[in-house]
Amino acid sequence: MRPSGRKLNEMRSVSIETGVTKHAEGSCLIKMGDTHVLCTATIEDRVPPFIKGSGLGWVTAEYGMLPRSTSSRMRREAATGKQGGRTVEIQRLIGRALRAGVDRVALGERQITIDCDVIQADGGTRCASITGGWVALRLAVDKLMKAGLVTSNPLVDPVAAVSCGIYAGQPVLDLDYPEDSEAGVDGNFIMLASGRLIEVQMSAEGATYSRDQMNQLLDLAEKGVAELVVAQKAAVNA
Amino acid sequence: MRPSGRKLNEMRSVSIETGVTKHAEGSCLIKMGDTHVLCTATIEDRVPPFIKGSGLGWVTAEYGMLPRSTSSRMRREAATGKQGGRTVEIQRLIGRALRAGVDRVALGERQITIDCDVIQADGGTRCASITGGWVALRLAVDKLMKAGLVTSNPLVDPVAAVSCGIYAGQPVLDLDYPEDSEAGVDGNFIMLASGRLIEVQMSAEGATYSRDQMNQLLDLAEKGVAELVVAQKAAVNA
Amino acid sequence: MRPSGRKLNEMRSVSIETGVTKHAEGSCLIKMGDTHVLCTATIEDRVPPFIKGSGLGWVTAEYGMLPRSTSSRMRREAATGKQGGRTVEIQRLIGRALRAGVDRVALGERQITIDCDVIQADGGTRCASITGGWVALRLAVDKLMKAGLVTSNPLVDPVAAVSCGIYAGQPVLDLDYPEDSEAGVDGNFIMLASGRLIEVQMSAEGATYSRDQMNQLLDLAEKGVAELVVAQKAAVNA
Amino acid sequence: MRPSGRKLNEMRSVSIETGVTKHAEGSCLIKMGDTHVLCTATIEDRVPPFIKGSGLGWVTAEYGMLPRSTSSRMRREAATGKQGGRTVEIQRLIGRALRAGVDRVALGERQITIDCDVIQADGGTRCASITGGWVALRLAVDKLMKAGLVTSNPLVDPVAAVSCGIYAGQPVLDLDYPEDSEAGVDGNFIMLASGRLIEVQMSAEGATYSRDQMNQLLDLAEKGVAELVVAQKAAVNA
Amino acid sequence: MRPSGRKLNEMRSVSIETGVTKHAEGSCLIKMGDTHVLCTATIEDRVPPFIKGSGLGWVTAEYGMLPRSTSSRMRREAATGKQGGRTVEIQRLIGRALRAGVDRVALGERQITIDCDVIQADGGTRCASITGGWVALRLAVDKLMKAGLVTSNPLVDPVAAVSCGIYAGQPVLDLDYPEDSEAGVDGNFIMLASGRLIEVQMSAEGATYSRDQMNQLLDLAEKGVAELVVAQKAAVNA
Amino acid sequence: MRPSGRKLNEMRSVSIETGVTKHAEGSCLIKMGDTHVLCTATIEDRVPPFIKGSGLGWVTAEYGMLPRSTSSRMRREAATGKQGGRTVEIQRLIGRALRAGVDRVALGERQITIDCDVIQADGGTRCASITGGWVALRLAVDKLMKAGLVTSNPLVDPVAAVSCGIYAGQPVLDLDYPEDSEAGVDGNFIMLASGRLIEVQMSAEGATYSRDQMNQLLDLAEKGVAELVVAQKAAVNA
């Protein structure tokens, strides 16, 4: 029934390749099916003005799509002269999500910027960015710990994200683009490996949903996140 | 325990005054306690390019805060040269929420723009904008119906929104600013009067939450939205 | 003969309500007939770089129109990405006018920003902004004086402004929108309560005027400003 | 008493050289003492959307200062990314002033753009731009008339402008930069050769003025404009 | 003597992998040593306004660097609000270079946009973009030819580019970043496979050069381009 | 054969008038036939951040065209909101070229900005800007030397630039606009008076060229630069 032939509760194949760029302190290329996102982590000693001198660290994110990551070419945002509303929303979400998994005291007064650049898009780029972004973050923090600059682990539990939605009347896990563009209801679910929730964004376009349906999607999301955490752990220990 | 002395499940006093500007096709000033938002509806015959010729209508929204709506003065976005990320996020949310309650076929090929301008802010401006925005929209649609331009009611069920959060360890309804700035977890809940969900955005900053807590907030939100719908209905029938 | 039925030298009804927002150091809602402008004053300890260390104070202004303050909706300047030429001209005028009535030594090295936001427009918004702006400024300065931060009154004489023009061949006082859009000659007259002039801007579009006509408008303006000053004094003493 | 040694009612030397660029339909370099402005007129067959099909013509203006036209280098507005408030105000004034001297029916549905670029600044650049701009406009219209495209003269009477102010307590004609930067009151007076007024902008910074003083400045301005008109007529007939 | 240990006339290892993104009509990932650029080609039926109706085709290019493609993180141009001068210069060069190798009559009235996005930078990104850009272009044109939309081959001869410079007093081929940042003289040489020149840009910073030196670099460039053409041909025939 | 009737190796008449604006530390109006560029030099004590404290000087340039310097009016870049790609490219080239002729140690930690504003364009504006820019720079440096602020001459050898191209199959010197718009190959050649090369930019649009042709253009350029240097020396010694 799903265009890809997947079962309702079946994720796309996930692969996370680390160390893909030589300059970044942490990096990975995450592939969720045909969605490919390059995530890099940059460590800097400066922090935003509003926490200067607080001893607390900061994690932030930027997101972009290559112009031809999509089926028809998008205008390059650098040429347009500004980041679109969707881009701004997504990068704020990624930053907020990752910070929820960071002990900012343990990190110390430094900033880590996660850049998520979509090489190829097929739905779910924001969730892939969070899941891959955590891996890049983990690798960068590992460098700080190996160098003795950070002594207590600030990343206690992995952060991962997956989208679920109601497609053709059925709750399905990990929407790809053909499903996403048809689904009247879809949500992004961001969790810790422990199952604790960080953020739920569940919205409808031309439809509404019941609390029952919301709970069905949450059940699917828990399954999906558990599988993503396995992939994250394998990647960072590789 | 709440700074305002309200009970955990107690809303701020709500007032919705309609007909507050002479030019707009629909307008109201909504007050949720000290949060005051002016909502106006503008009807135009043109629609965005992507639905031209489809026969479908469109509802969109813009949001702004007056520079001194807040405790310390904010920079005027018109002077800054762009709308900030938070503004863009909020106005996209308002538009999406209101569209979910509109039968776009019945509306016909026209656009209604809801402007939500915050005169005074004390937390919950996006929810007040949605709740008041629906009233302005309803009044504008009433004009179209009286004029015979729209014959079938495109607004079957009111749309309203309320925020809830976990404040000092307790689930509370309708966060005001002192609560909002302290709450580690807060959510915006947008529903139809029927209780069907349109959008849930529940996020944590420096904290996480369980599914149980999520359900407690949803219970509170259902209570709040029911009260808001009463105020909306009273306003549009006044 | 005037669309509103007013006499040639008759002002619209004026009302000035103070204390309309809880955050600003001074505020009022001024109504000149159907023109409604919200004026707020913000006190800050910093001054612009060019007077830093001079001991002198600064008063500046910003002006905006809500998108649906007008008969057909205007584009929101924050969305357009810049303030239009008319906006910039008006806010520079308001700031210059108010500064002319301020003893900047007595004010001391601090800045007061007057925000003038047009809620509903029906002609004469810049004059209403100046007249209402002075009230907000006065209230903010009163706070400084009550707190002992300013000891000598920096606002010796009220500043008020009114527009006059030649409509249907006749000099008329306090143009409303239907008059303003037809008048070939119109002027803005800014004065102290004493009658001393601060700024005269009298321009023609598709017409010219004689010195005699200019003097007739000045006579009208003196009458109008005297009435506005009465309203200002009543408002700040209320 | 004046820094330049001029008498109170003495203009700077005026020179207007025409035909200074080969591409423009009309051009001149106007020198008011050390203030040098290059004015060019461009004829185009299109008009702004709001008069399309009306049969009426349009005259508009743009103004700029070369970065080193001033004593210390100004930032280039093209590099800054926008025209400053002062620039916008001035170019709107120039356009409005010139239009007041144009019979837009006789001009026919075409647009003439006057570009005024300040090569060297020493006070009074906006007045020089209007006076020189009229010459460029006249020359462009002459071309249209010679070509038979315009048959009735749309420029009945020259438009010229001069600044006056109160300097060291005395009313003086044609302020140069050292006077302008000291004068508490200064005005720009735009007139037809006939003496009819087009626009008066008379403002005070840190001072106020009486109606008597205003009349003294108007007297001076009438003298100055008469002299400018002589120079304009000599230039266009050369 | 070279930091990399390469001989003076030795290129970095070159690899060109095609078909790297599923959406683009042509794509490749070109690696010149540690410089990695993703090149995609997009075919569109529209052409720029200045050639509309001419029957001629157009090839254009856009260039960008991922924020962490470099040793320290660069600001994202989409966030900055504009493309920097270097970016604009490079993308204009890429477009001009590729057009020189295209028979625009044979291409027919359509546009091909080459996006060159630097994944990892180590010197020579603009040359890699041209060389890889031609491969993406070739693959896109092949699609048009296979579909019968283009019947005569518009790409007669490959276009390739290489940088050469004077490093430590010696002419060297294919500068990497450590060389590029030290070289007082460096040039970019763009040629057809036939050896005909398309563009030479040879500049000095804090140095100058003789015609003899220029000829030595041209000799090296001819060698380098010949090797690149071999790699291009292998890639497109793979 | 050339539209102007010039011989293949004949320059346009060159004139360089110095001291044309009273504010700049150095200035000239350079005329290459009908191409007229105003060049001014501004000395400032600050340097860009990346060389602060290094003791080294900096020379930079900005370039602009007056809107009606061209045959049809160009949009004013200040109004457009940004400098176009061509402008940015040219001003970077001018700055780089002039720096190549400066001993930055001898100049000392100060910045000289060369503004090149095109009053009238007829091809070759970037070369005229470099040649005239050097004259303005020389005059500014002379002031520093006369004042004893610079003691060792930082400008050892004049920098000049000329364009050459292949027009109607023939190599020609100093392209004017009618030639430039037809030439398939054209180059800009920047040299020291000694004949040492600073920058060569030789590009083809819809054509290619051989090394022989490149050498022919270089021969022409050497002749042209020698003549320009004579004019520069005459101007600065006048």
Query: What DSSP string runs through D112-130?
Result: EEEEEEEEE-SS-HHHHHH
Report if residue F139 sits inside a domain.
yes
For residue A31, give the H/E element and its range. strand A26-32
Confidence of residue F223 (pLDDT cuts 50, 70, 90): very high
For residue B61, give the H/E element and its range. strand B58-65
Q: Give residue D81's pLDDT.
A: 84
Residue of C68, C78, C113 lying closest to B24 (CB–CB)? C68
A112 and A41 Cβ atoms separated by less than 8 Å: yes
E127 and E11 Cβ atoms separated by less than 8 Å: no
Residues of chain B in Cβ contact (below 8 Å) with chain C: 21-24, 27, 34, 38, 40, 42, 44, 62, 64, 66-71, 73, 76-83, 87, 113, 115, 117, 119-121
Q: State both tokens at D62.
A: 């743009």
Identify the chains in contact with D, defined as 3+ C-beta pairs within 8 A.
C, F
B40 and B56 Cβ atoms separated by less than 8 Å: no
Confidence of residue E199 (pLDDT cuts 50, 70, 90): very high
Task: Kindly give the confidence (pLDDT) of every residue in chain D, 238 residues in length, as a single tens digit, with 9 standing for 90 and above.
Answer: 899 999 999 999 999 999 999 999 999 999 999 999 999 999 999 999 999 999 999 999 999 999 999 999 999 999 988 899 899 999 999 999 999 999 999 999 999 999 999 999 999 999 999 999 999 999 999 999 999 999 999 998 999 999 999 999 999 999 999 999 999 899 999 999 999 999 999 999 878 999 999 999 999 999 999 999 999 999 999 7
Terminal CA-CA length for chain D: 36
Q: Give residue E129's pLDDT.
A: 98
Subunit contact A207:B100, Cβ cutoff 8 A? yes
Query: What DSSP string runs through C141-166?
Result: HHHHHHTTS--S-S--S-EEEEEEEE
Confidence of residue B64 (pLDDT cuts 50, 70, 90): very high
Residues of chain E in Cβ contact (below 8 Å) with chain A: 21-24, 27, 34, 38, 40, 42, 44, 62, 64, 66-71, 73, 76-83, 87, 113, 115, 117, 119-121
Residue of A96, A209, A211 lying closest to B203 (CB–CB)? A96
Confidence of residue C135 (pLDDT cuts 50, 70, 90): very high
In whole angstroms, how far apart are CA B222 and each of A201, B9, B129, B191, C28? 17, 11, 18, 8, 38
**By C-alpha distance, which of A204, A225, A39 is closest to A132?**
A39
Q: Which residue has the tokens 């719908």?
A: B229
Residue of F42, F70, F113 lying closest to D23 (CB–CB)? F70
Subunit contact E202:F200, Cβ cutoff 8 A? yes
As a whole number, mean pLDDT of residues F125-138 equals: 98
Structural domain harbouring D53: 14-237
Q: Give residue A108's pLDDT.
A: 97
Q: Give residue A238's pLDDT.
A: 73
**Best E44, E68, E112 residue to mutate vs chain A (most A CBs within 10 Å):** E68
Q: What residues of E are designated binding site for phosphate? A: 86, 124-126
**pLDDT tens per residue, range E65-117:** 999 999 999 999 999 888 998 999 999 999 999 999 999 999 999 999 999 99
**pLDDT tens per residue, range B117-161:** 999 999 999 999 999 999 999 999 999 999 999 999 999 899 999
Report if residue C91 sits inside a domain.
yes
As a whole number, mean pLDDT of residues E216-234 equals: 97
Q: State both tokens at B4.
A: 């305002």
Q: Give residue D133's pLDDT.
A: 98
Subunit contact C203:D198, Cβ cutoff 8 A? yes
Q: What is the DSSP letter of F11?
A: P
Report the mean per-residue pLDDT for chain C. 96
Report the mean per-residue pLDDT for chain E. 96
**Best E62, E93, E185, E201 residue to mutate vs chain F (most F CBs within 10 Å):** E201
Shortest Cα distance, chain E CAs vs residue F80, angstroms = 13
Q: Which residue of F has its CA nearest to D77?
A: F78
Beta pairing, strands F159-167 & F111-120: unpaired
Shortest Cα distance, chain B CAs vs residue A22, angstroms = 32
ipTM, two decimals, is: 0.94
Chain centroid to Cα D51, Å, comes to 24
F235 and F28 Cβ atoms separated by less than 8 Å: yes
Report the mean per-residue pLDDT for chain B. 96
Q: Is the pLDDT of residue B212 over 80?
A: yes
**pLDDT tens per residue, range C31-72:** 999 999 999 999 999 999 999 999 999 999 999 999 999 999
Query: The dihedral of CA A143, A145, A146, A147: what is its sign?
Result: positive
**pLDDT tens per residue, range C136-188:** 999 999 999 999 999 999 998 999 999 999 999 999 999 999 999 999 899 99
Confidence of residue B207 (pLDDT cuts 50, 70, 90): confident
Confidence of residue F126 (pLDDT cuts 50, 70, 90): very high
Q: Which residue of E has its CA nearest to F85?
A: E88
Q: Give residue D195's pLDDT.
A: 93
The pTM of this model reads 0.90
Separation of alpha carbons A235 and E146, rounded Å: 42
Subunit contact D85:C82, Cβ cutoff 8 A? no
**pLDDT tens per residue, range B86-127:** 999 999 999 999 999 999 999 999 999 999 999 999 999 999
Q: What is the CA radius of gyration of chain A?
A: 18
Q: Which residue of F has its CA nearest to D120?
A: F21
Please tell me whether A87 is known to bind a ligand.
Answer: no
Separation of alpha carbons C105 and E107, rounded Å: 73
Report if residue B7 sits inside a domain.
no
Q: Which residue of C has its CA nearest to B75?
A: C62
Residues of chain F in Cβ contact (below 8 Å) with chain D: 21-24, 27, 34, 38, 40, 42, 44, 62, 64, 66-71, 73, 76-83, 87, 113, 115, 117, 119-121
Q: What is the DSSP letter of F209?
A: B
F12 and F77 Cβ atoms separated by less than 8 Å: no
Q: Is the pLDDT of residue A142 over 80?
A: yes
Q: State both tokens at C229.
A: 């000053």
Q: Give residue D82's pLDDT.
A: 87
CB atoms within 10 A of CB A182: 14
Q: Which residue of B has its CA nearest to A215?
A: B211
Q: State both tokens at D227.
A: 């002299």
Give the amino acid at C4: S
Identify the chains in contact with A, defined as 3+ C-beta pairs within 8 A.
B, E
Q: Is the pLDDT of residue E156 over 90?
A: no
Q: State both tokens at C216.
A: 């007739």
As a whole number, mean pLDDT of residues E155-178 equals: 96
Q: Count structural domains, chain F.
A: 1
**By C-alpha distance, which of D88, E99, A199 is closest to F203?**
E99
A28 and A139 Cβ atoms separated by less than 8 Å: yes
In whole angstroms, how far apart are CA A108 and each of A50, A55, D237, E73? 15, 6, 78, 20
E190 and E160 Cβ atoms separated by less than 8 Å: yes
Those residues with Cβ within 8 angstroms of residue B150's Cβ, 6 or more apart along the chain or in another chain? B106, B107, B108, B141, B144
Subunit contact F92:E89, Cβ cutoff 8 A? yes
**Best B17, B20, B22, B23 residue to mutate vs chain C (most C CBs within 10 Å):** B23
Residues of chain A in Cβ contact (below 8 Å) with chain E: 21-24, 27, 34, 38, 40, 42, 44, 62, 64, 66-71, 73, 76-83, 87, 113, 115, 117, 119-121
Shortest Cα distance, chain D CAs vs residue C26, angstroms = 23
Please tell me whether B124 is known to bind a ligand.
Answer: yes
Separation of alpha carbons A189 and A160, rounded Å: 8
Report if residue D197 sits inside a domain.
yes
In whole angstroms, how far apart are CA F84 and each of A82, C23, E60, F77, F91? 17, 44, 16, 7, 11
Report if residue F121 sits inside a domain.
yes
Report if residue E8 sits inside a domain.
no
Residue of B73, B82, B113 lying closest to C42 (CB–CB)? B73
Burial of B200: CB neighbours in 10 Å, binned 0-12, 13-18, 19+: buried
Confidence of residue B219 (pLDDT cuts 50, 70, 90): very high
Query: Is E191 in a helix, a strand, or coil?
Result: strand
Say which CATH number the domain at F189 has: 3.30.230.70
As a whole number, mean pLDDT of residues E174-182 equals: 95
Subunit contact E202:F197, Cβ cutoff 8 A? yes
Confidence of residue B82 (pLDDT cuts 50, 70, 90): confident
**By C-alpha distance, which of C201, C206, C218 is closest to C89?**
C201
Q: Give residue B156's pLDDT.
A: 85
Give the sheet arrangement for strand F35-44, strand by strand: F14-18, F26-32, F35-44, F111-120, F58-65
Report if residue C136 sits inside a domain.
yes
Q: Give residue E205's pLDDT.
A: 82
Q: Which residue of A has its CA nearest to B101?
A: A206
Q: Give residue A189's pLDDT.
A: 98
Length of chain D: 238
**By C-alpha distance, which of A182, A110, A179 is closest to A147?**
A110
Report if residue E7 sits inside a domain.
no
Per residue in D99-110, is it b (16+ CB within 10 Å) or e — as a string?
bbbbebebbbbb
Q: Give residue E9's pLDDT.
A: 97
As a whole number, mean pLDDT of residues A73-92 equals: 92
Per residue in B24-46, is it b (16+ CB within 10 Å) or e — as a string?
bbbbbbbbbbbbbbbbbbbbeee
Confidence of residue E166 (pLDDT cuts 50, 70, 90): very high
**By C-alpha distance, which of E113, E99, E114 is closest to E56?**
E99
Those residues with Cβ within 8 angstroms of residue F62's Cβ, 6 or more apart along the chain or in another chain? D67, D76, D79, F91, F113, F114, F115, F116
**By C-alpha distance, which of D160, D150, D135, D127 is closest to D25?**
D135
Q: Is the pLDDT of residue F206 over 80?
A: no
Separation of alpha carbons B83 and A5, rounded Å: 42
